[in-house]
Amino acid sequence: MLNQVTDKERAELEAMASKHPEIKAEIRAIEEVLVNYAMAHSKTPPKDLKQQIFSKIQQTQTPEN
Amino acid sequence: MQTPSKTYSEAELVRLLKSKDSEGYNVLYDNYSAALYGIISRVVPAEEIAQDVLQDVFVKIWKNIDSYDASKGRLFTWMLNIARNSAIDYSRSKQFKMENKIQEIENSVYEINRHTSTHINTDIIGLRDQVDKLKKEHSVLINMIYFGGYTQEETAKKLKMPLGTVKTRVRAAIIQLRQLIK
C-alpha cells in the first residue's frame, strides 16, 4: 500500500508513523488486509518452476557479502 | 500453502535469507510462491510471463534482502510489493501492451457473459470474488490501483472523478475488504 504514494509522502507518512502509534497501527492494518487478500488469491506455480528459479539464483552472483 | 518441514519465525527466516542460506530460500518458496504468483497473475494473466516475473521476483529478493528492514514492515509485505511492482513494470512494457489487448477483449467478453449470465468463467470469478463482493464503484478502484498499478491521481483522471472522491472510496473499499477478508 505504501507505494501508492510518492517518496516525499512516504517519508512524511513514515515520520508520522514513528511518532504516532495509531497511525503505524493503521498502516499495518491496511497492509494486513492486502496480505490476506494475496493469501486468499494464491495460485500454485507449476512444479518445475522451483528448480528453474533455484538454478537461476545459484547463477546469480551475490552483489557483496 | 504447503507446510514446510520445519517452522521458522519470521525473524529466523529473515536471518537465513540474509545469510543466503538455501534452506531459507527453500522455505520462502514453499510458503510464499503461491501468494506471490497469485498477485503476479492478477496483473499479468499469461502464465508463461507470470512465471518469468516470479523468477525475477525471487532473484530480486535474493539480491536485495539486505535492504529489507523489519522495522518498516513485514517480510511478506515487502515481497508482495516487489512482486506487484515487477508485474506492473512488465505490464507497462511494450510487449505486454500487445498481449494485453487480447486480454482486454477477453475481459470484455467476460463482462458480457457476467451480465447475461449465459456463461460463467469460474477461474476469473474465483480470482476476483472478494473484490466483486465490494460495490462496483469500489472494486473498480481497487483493481486499478492495487492490481493495475495506477496512482490515485491517474485513476481519478482516467475515471474522470475528483481526486478527493477516489481517495474517499479507496479508503472505504479497504475498510470493507478488511471486513470481508478475515
CB contact under 8 A, A34 and B146: yes
* Percentage of residues in chain B having pLDDT higher than 70: 71
Q: Does B63 touch chain A (CB under 8 A)?
A: yes
C-beta neighbour count of B147 within 10 angstroms? 20
* Percentage of residues in chain B having pLDDT higher than 90: 32
Mean pLDDT estimate for chain B: 77
Q: Is residue A64 part of a domain?
A: no
For residue B105, what pLDDT is reported? 52
Residues B105-141: tens digit of each pLDDT:
555 544 444 443 333 333 333 434 556 667 777 777 7
| Chain B residues closer than 8 Å to A14 by CB | 72
Burial label for B4, CB within 10 Å (0-12, 13-18, 19+), is middle
ipTM higher than threshold 0.90: no
Q: Is residue A40 part of a domain?
A: yes
Produce one character per residue of B153-168: b if its CB has 16 or more CB atoms within 10 Å, e if not: eebbeebeeeeeebee
Cell numbers for B114, please give them.
457476467
Q: Which domain holds residue A14?
A: 2-59
Distance from CA of A61 to the nearest CA of B (A): 8
Q: Is residue A65 part of a domain?
A: no
Helix and strand numbers, DSSP H then E, in chain B: 9, 0
Q: Which fold has domain B10-91?
A: Rna Polymerase Sigma Factor; Chain: A (1.10.1740)
CB contact under 8 A, B38 and A43: yes
Q: CATH assignment of B121-182?
A: 1.10.10.10
For residue B74, what pLDDT is reported? 85
Q: Is residue A30 part of a domain?
A: yes
Residues B136-160: tens digit of each pLDDT:
777 777 777 777 777 888 889 888 9
The structure's pTM equals 0.66
Torsion sign, CA atoms B85, B80, A22, A18 = negative
Q: Is residue A47 part of a domain?
A: yes
Every domain range in chain B assigned CATH 1.10.10.10: 121-182
Question: How many domains is chain A built from?
Answer: 1
Residues B51-81: tens digit of each pLDDT:
999 999 999 999 999 999 888 778 988 998 8
Q: Is residue A16 part of a domain?
A: yes
Query: In angstroms, rounded to a whole number, what is the distance separating the alpha carbons of residues B118 and B116?
Result: 5
Q: Is residue A55 part of a domain?
A: yes
Every domain range in chain B assigned CATH 1.10.1740.10: 10-91
DSSP A16: H
